[in-house]
Chain A
Amino acid sequence: MSKEGLISVHNTDKASYKAYVTGFLLSLFCTLLAYLLTVNHVLSKSWALALVIATLALIQAVTQLTLFLHLGSESKPKFKLLVFSFMTIVVFILVAGSIWIMHNLNHRIMTPKQINTFMEKQDDGGL
């Protein structure tokens, strides 16, 4: 192995500076855009706007993951990426599952008023 080979282990960062600046500017853009869209309430439907904001957040997350946290830049057995993928699956099940189940429960639960009318109905039937 040549002497250069030893030194190059640490010296990979001419492009890295560019990566940080790009990541910073992209993040800044996403943040400000999401903020302005929300404050000016540009879409009449809140749900559509929420979806846009969530997408912007995801774009910014991917930007920072690749450019700041260097995800995906490791050499071949990509264990970091593997653990990351597993984490996203767990997070997805956890968050989507919770929202789904709790939404369903909320939907099925009766308000006191509903319980009253229900019981009155039962009484009618019984008597």
Chain B
Amino acid sequence: MSEVETAVITKVTRQTEQHEADNKTLFGFWVYLMTDCVLFASLFATFAVLHSNTFGGPTAHSLFSLPYALAETLILLVSSFTCGLMILSAQNKAKRLVLIWLGITFILGAAFLTLEIREFSDFVSRGDSWRRSGFLSSYFTLVATHGLHITMGLLWILTMGYQVLKRGLTRITIRQLTLMSLFWHFLDLIWIFIFSVVYLISGGLNI
């Protein structure tokens, strides 16, 4: 066996090992996301059980503004899409594009969070906080848990932007970007159900 061949084989083995390690990390993160799904499911169940216990306070129908919720939904959906474009650029090793898409995703995510906080503070200032009724407790818990995840996601985007700037697109940063994009897509997935169940079915249809 020539030296070149040995070198190639070593390199191949190393790459396969690294690839498998990456897959393990990815799988571990996936398991985390699935347990997070169970967390959200229990909050959804709580909301489903409590959503008509308004205790003389506002009902979902009188409280929510559907156009406002639609705006939030569309912003988050677009940010999920730009996050996907970011990961494609990362795979094509286009560092500048990655930074641009990361920036856009961050701005959209921050816009979503701002809208959500404004909605919350609006409710609270009218006296309709989580202390008002069982319905509002379950609503705030469910939606704010999602909002907290979004906040964490935004922090993650920031740190990833810094890492890409500093270290470039290495195997490790690409792996972390992949995990981050999974997390962000997952949050959009959860929001679909919040939009449909909380805002449309409970708020819009008054069920």
- A residues bordering B, Cβ < 8 Å? 1, 6, 9-13, 16-17, 20, 23-24, 27-28, 31, 34-35, 38-39, 41, 46-47, 49-50, 53-54, 56-57, 60-61, 64-65, 68-69, 79-80, 83-84, 86-87, 90-91, 94-95, 98-99, 102
Could you tell me if A64 and B80 are in contact, using CB atoms closer than 8 angstroms?
yes
- In the bound complex, do residue B49 and residue A102 qualify as a contact, i.e. CB atoms below 8 Å apart? yes
Residues of B contacting A: mostly = helix
Give every chain A residue within 8 A of B73 (Cβ-Cβ). Answer: 31
Name the distance in Å between B71's Cβ and chain A's nearest Cβ. Answer: 11
Contacts of A56 in B (CB 8 A): 196
Instruction: Say whether B77 contacts A24, CB under 8 Å.
Output: yes
A10 CB to closest chain B CB, in angstroms? 6
Does B42 reach chain A (CB closer than 8 Å)?
A: yes
| CB neighbours of A79 from chain B (8 A) | 27
Would A69 and B49 count as touching, CB distance under 8 A? no
Q: Are A64 and B185 in contact (CB under 8 A)?
A: yes
Contact with A along B63-92 (1 / 0, CB 8 A): 000100010011001101100110010011
Which single member of A39, A47, A60 contacts B204 (CB below 8 Å)? A39
Provided the pairs A6-B15, A68-B185 are in contact, do residues A83 and B80 lie with their beta carbons within 8 angstroms? no
Interface size on B, residues (CB 8 A): 48
Main secondary structure of the interface of A (DSSP, over half): helix
Give min CB distance, A34 to chain B, whole Å: 6
Q: For residue A12, which residues in chain B have a CB less than 8 angstroms away from its CB? A: 91
Please tell me if the beta carbons of B12 and A64 are within 8 angstroms of each other in the complex. Answer: no
One of B31-39, B140-148, B159-167 contacting the partner: B31-39
User: Given the complex of chains A and B, what is the CA–CA distance between A69 and B197 in angstroms?
Assistant: 22
Sample of 22 A–B contacts (CB below 8 Å): A6-B11, A24-B78, A27-B77, A34-B196, A34-B200, A35-B70, A39-B204, A46-B206, A50-B207, A57-B197, A64-B185, A64-B189, A65-B189, A68-B80, A68-B189, A69-B185, A69-B186, A69-B189, A90-B41, A94-B38, A99-B45, A99-B48
- CB atoms of A99 and B49 under 8 A apart: yes
Check B204 against A68 for contact (C-beta < 8 Å).
no
Q: How far is the CA of A38 from the CA of B81 in the complex (A)?
A: 25
Docked Cα-Cα span, A41 to B80, in Å, equals 29
| A50 adjacent to B195 (CB under 8 Å) | no
